[in-house]
Amino acid sequence: MALADSETAMDVASLMQDIGDRAREASRAIALASTDTKNAALQQIAANIRARTADILAANARDLEGMKQRGVTGSYQERATLNAARVEAIAGACEDIAKLTDPVGDEIARWQRPNGLDIARVRTPLGVIGIIYESRPNVTVDAAALAMKAGNAAILRGGSDTIATNQALYVAIAEGLEAVGLPADAVQLVPVTDRAAVGALLTGLNGTVDVIVPRGGKSLVGRVQDEARVPVFSHLEGICHIYVDGAADLTMARDIVVNAKMRRTSICGAAETLLIDRAKADTFAAPLVTALQEAGCEVRADEAVRALVPSAKPATGDDWGTEFLDAIIAVKLVDGVQGALDHIARYGSSHTESIITDDAAVAAQFLNQCDSAIVMHNASTQFADGGEFGMGAEIGIATGRMHARGPVGLEQLTSFHYVVRGTGQTRPA
Amino acid sequence: MALADSETAMDVASLMQDIGDRAREASRAIALASTDTKNAALQQIAANIRARTADILAANARDLEGMKQRGVTGSYQERATLNAARVEAIAGACEDIAKLTDPVGDEIARWQRPNGLDIARVRTPLGVIGIIYESRPNVTVDAAALAMKAGNAAILRGGSDTIATNQALYVAIAEGLEAVGLPADAVQLVPVTDRAAVGALLTGLNGTVDVIVPRGGKSLVGRVQDEARVPVFSHLEGICHIYVDGAADLTMARDIVVNAKMRRTSICGAAETLLIDRAKADTFAAPLVTALQEAGCEVRADEAVRALVPSAKPATGDDWGTEFLDAIIAVKLVDGVQGALDHIARYGSSHTESIITDDAAVAAQFLNQCDSAIVMHNASTQFADGGEFGMGAEIGIATGRMHARGPVGLEQLTSFHYVVRGTGQTRPA
């Protein structure tokens, strides 16, 4: 018997609340688990994934067949596709996370007060992390492993297109947790594809969810940012700028600009706008634009650039502040570093910006005054990545100003508390 | 002509949005202001407050007269009352904040990558801070000064009972900002008492407000926590526990328990529940309960305690997890440190808890496993205070797990970003 819509909605709400309650309960156990126990779980999960490769690929084949029938194709389908090598990479990533330093229990700071009190700021787990993602099944394991290693419980809500694959991977996770005596509820996979499940998760499930991490395209992230009643670690867009100052070394600038745009055009750290100092436009504009074009990039430029390099296409107003995620770049002349800062303040997305200059004072001004999560000097914006920062792994990049900003690695998935050690101190009146 | 209700609501919404937009714009100027400029502004504000003492006291007299007519009395009225000494204390607090170290620009961490990239994590201002408070006029200046010193813009929404006093203090702030060339909009006081103004602020005013700090009673904080669509630094309650372990020094325990409860009963760090190790109850219960009673505290105890100390009143179920904020304490026997941890997990508010013991292993277990913002060993819970922690000043205490936890001082009013310094690095394919 089919349920009426209102009954289904109630079912989903109560199912999700139960998941939240179990996550909160399990979060106490994973928070107190030793580093060795957590690492053993991660290694067991990797072993389970390898042992279950056939099951996982069979489930993935069912998902792909369903996507084919629904007409889902292209890059979305490609990202959903697993093969033996990709399954091995998922297991390997889990082992890599086991090797990272456990942040829980770290003393971030410690000091003594004149009355003898010893105060330490110590890292603790955050609690329960909700991860909402789209087609990539590797997120199921990567996100769970990062959350676990930092002592957190995780609630995973993957895309409906890959639910069979995610469930096959989840078996490996649950059995790995139980093998070391941790509750399987420390990682839970939402078992329904109902869209209302996302809505419920975004409410925070009566305070059981501490933070939401969306992994996916702009429409998913936008929905999460708009609807979430709990903190969100995310970036909506990576509209990254490179400013080539008049005091730049042109060869360095050319190499960095081409790399920042063209190494991979689909990542959030790819440059989308090139700003060139008007004072050196006569010398810089043509070689920079030509180098981009020779690398296969479409250049959309303002009139001042096109007057110097007529092969550039005309930019429209919409091109400033657009995340092309493609071999397209917008190019504009600006009046020095202040002009670049003004343009970025207006059109940027607070993700990553880079200045190319040999003038230390100009670089310092840019680094101090540019209010983005990552600001760079003489380096490619494509380094905006937790792995490149030495964090080992990241669950995403955040452009918000609270708690986590920039790459979200293990440390950013922790909180802290104060540990005060006394010898009988009482507070004077 | 009186406006229709819907027109008033629209007016308030548009007034508040304008305040938000101006705060966001002014936040850029205060974020980039030098330490010297910010300190000069704070000193000027202190001087202005002293020079305007007569105006401030006259405004306060009008507020108090209004409160009298509306029948507002007691501690609420007392907190709203200024005199010359209190005005001087407000000015002095402003100067004290000028003396604190500026957190903006601090390198929290810095490291090098194998490819030569130099990565620093550097403190930046948070942005725009909304402060919603009740009758204490000193919050107008304290909160503004702390927000400013950390490079933030502030929007102040004080209680309607003290709006004249707050406006008189605000003149001193605005003139102090302008005297050093900073925009007066870096601190704004909401000029209307309409309740809808709070609702608008809690929406975040289209992304212009980064965080809300409520300062006041439980109903204010509860409303802010329920309705805010932006992060909130707050604690709803301080249900602080002291656990006297069987291995405690009884004299130390007695001194700390009496101090933690009775030094000031109205502050959030006051102890509300005393847990005593059942193993030593025969020895400990009577002297601890008697000491509290002799200090003027009403003791409400469970049956096991009352069997040992019949003078204690019987506790009801409601007494566990109650923030008395008065000379009342709930007392219970528990089964060792694990019993204490279980009780605190069930009834605590994640604020501050203290263990009294001479057993280092038991202390370590408590400090590691108790998930509160502040955990203490052999010290009074009344030390839960930013000043006592050496932070210089605090805007409040937060029990949430995101960004700020425990005392919220200058550092907690900052964010950070990454500064990456290269020498031409491009990212390999």
Q: What are the average pLDDT values for consecutive 10-residue runs of chain B, which has 429 residues?
A: 56 96 97 98 98 98 96 89 97 97 96 98 98 94 97 96 97 98 98 92 95 94 93 95 98 98 96 98 98 98 98 96 96 98 96 98 97 97 96 92 96 97 97
Confirm if B95 and B405 have CB atoms less than 8 A apart.
no
For chain B, positions 339-378, list CB contacts with chain A under 8 A: 345, 367-369, 371-378
* pLDDT at residue A76 in the model: 86
What does the pLDDT look like over B167-217, one tens digit per residue? Answer: 999 999 999 999 999 999 999 999 998 889 999 999 999 999 999 999 999
Report the residue of B27, B212, B402, B413 to disrupt the A interface, i.e. the one with the largest count of A CBs within 10 Å: B402
* pLDDT at residue A6 in the model: 59
Minimal Cβ distance to B256: which of A417, A419, A426 = A426
Minimal Cβ distance to B422: which of A368, A378, A417 = A378
CA contacts within 13 A on the Cβ side of A123 = 18
CB contact under 8 A, A424 and B249: yes
Q: Which residues of B touch A260 (CB under 8 A)?
A: 426
- Taking CA–CA distances from B115, the nearest residue in chain A reads A388
For chain A, positions 226-285, list CB contacts with chain B under 8 A: 229, 231, 249, 252, 255-256, 259-260, 263
Confirm if A389 and A397 have CB atoms less than 8 A apart.
no
What does the pLDDT look like over B330-380, one tens digit per residue? Answer: 999 999 999 999 999 999 999 999 999 999 999 999 999 999 999 999 999
- Taking CA–CA distances from B116, the nearest residue in chain A reads A379
- Taking CA–CA distances from B391, the nearest residue in chain A reads A113
**Is the minimum CB–CB distance between A402 and chain B shorter than 8 Å?**
yes
CB contact under 8 A, B426 and A28: no
What does the pLDDT look like over A351-395, one tens digit per residue? Answer: 999 999 999 999 999 999 999 999 999 999 999 999 999 998 899
**Is the minimum CB–CB distance between B58 and chain A shorter than 8 Å?**
no
- Taking CA–CA distances from B104, the nearest residue in chain A reads A368
CB contact under 8 A, A375 and B427: no
For chain A, positions 136-155, list CB contacts with chain B under 8 A: none
- Taking CA–CA distances from A366, the nearest residue in chain B reads B419
**Is the minimum CB–CB distance between B28 and chain A shorter than 8 Å?**
yes
Minimal Cβ distance to B406: which of A32, A380, A417 = A417
CB contact under 8 A, B424 and A373: no
Query: First-to-last CA distance in chain A?
Result: 70
What does the pLDDT look like over A220-263, one tens digit per residue? Answer: 999 999 999 999 999 999 999 999 999 999 999 999 999 999 99
CB contact under 8 A, B375 and A417: yes
Task: Provide the 3-class DSSP secondary structure of residue B184.
Answer: helix
- Taking CA–CA distances from B233, the nearest residue in chain A reads A402
Q: Which of B179, B186, B170 is nearest to B138 (CA)?
A: B170
To the nearest whole Å, the CA of A76 is away from the closest chain B CA by 22
Confirm if B120 and B15 have CB atoms less than 8 A apart.
no
* pLDDT at residue B75 in the model: 84
Query: First-to-last CA distance in chain B?
Result: 70
To the nearest whole Å, the CA of A134 is away from the closest chain B CA by 25
- Partners of B425 in the β-ladder: A379
For A216, residues 6+ apart whose C-beta sits below 8 A from its C-beta are A132, A133, A134, A159
CB contact under 8 A, A402 and B210: yes
- Taking CA–CA distances from B413, the nearest residue in chain A reads A402
What does the pLDDT look like over A46-97, one tens digit per residue? Answer: 999 999 999 999 999 999 999 999 999 888 899 999 999 999 999 999 999 9
Q: What burial class does residue B3 get, using C-beta atoms within 10 Å of its C-beta: 0-12 exposed, 13-18 middle, 19+ buried?
A: exposed
Q: Which residues of B touch A417 (CB under 8 A)?
A: 371-375, 405-406
* pLDDT at residue B6 in the model: 59
Confirm if B236 and B323 have CB atoms less than 8 A apart.
no
* pLDDT at residue A2 in the model: 42
CB contact under 8 A, B388 and A427: yes
What pTM does this model have? 0.94
What does the pLDDT look like over A158-179, one tens digit per residue? Answer: 999 999 999 999 999 999 999 9
Name the token pair of A22: 């179990």
Minimal Cβ distance to A418: which of B31, B378, B406 = B406
In A295-369, at which residue ranges do the beta strands (DSSP E only) sit? 298-301, 313-314, 328-334, 352-356
What is the torsional sign of CA A57, A58, A62, A68?
Answer: positive
Tell me: pLDDT of A3 over 50.
no
CB contact under 8 A, B422 and A117: no
Report the residue of B129, B206, B352, B401 to disrupt the A interface, i.e. the one with the largest count of A CBs within 10 Å: B401
The ipTM (two decimal places) reads 0.94
Q: What burial class does residue A17 get, using C-beta atoms within 10 Å of its C-beta: 0-12 exposed, 13-18 middle, 19+ buried?
A: middle
Q: Which residues of B touch A394 (CB under 8 A)?
A: none
Q: Work out the angle at residue B318's Cα, subtended by the Cα atoms of residues B317 and B320, and round it to the nearest 5 degrees.
A: 80
* pLDDT at residue B1 in the model: 35
Task: Provide the 3-class DSSP secondary structure of residue B241.
Answer: strand
**Is the minimum CB–CB distance between B219 and chain A shorter than 8 Å?**
no
- Taking CA–CA distances from B258, the nearest residue in chain A reads A426
User: Who has greater pLDDT, A7 or B99?
Assistant: B99
* Dihedral, CA of residue A347, residue A348, residue A353 and residue A359, to nearest 10: 40
Q: Which residues of A touch B105 (CB under 8 A)?
A: 368
Report the residue of B264, B362, B427 to disrupt the A interface, i.e. the one with the largest count of A CBs within 10 Å: B427
Minimal Cβ distance to B373: which of A105, A113, A417 = A417
CB contact under 8 A, A426 and B373: no
Confirm if A116 and A425 have CB atoms less than 8 A apart.
yes
Report the residue of A128, A249, A413, A427 to disrupt the B interface, i.e. the one with the largest count of B CBs within 10 Å: A427
Confirm if A96 and A145 have CB atoms less than 8 A apart.
no
Q: Which residues of A touch B390 (CB under 8 A)?
A: 111, 113, 119
**Is the minimum CB–CB distance between A126 and chain B shorter than 8 Å?**
yes
Give me chain B's average pLDDT, please. 95
Confirm if A331 and A289 have CB atoms less than 8 A apart.
yes
Minimal Cβ distance to B380: which of A28, A416, A425 = A425
What interhelical angle do A35-51 and A138-149 show, nearest 10? 170
Exposure string for A203-227, b = 16+ CB within 10 A, e = fewer: bbbeebbbbbbbbbeeebbebbbee
Confirm if A136 and A165 have CB atoms less than 8 A apart.
no
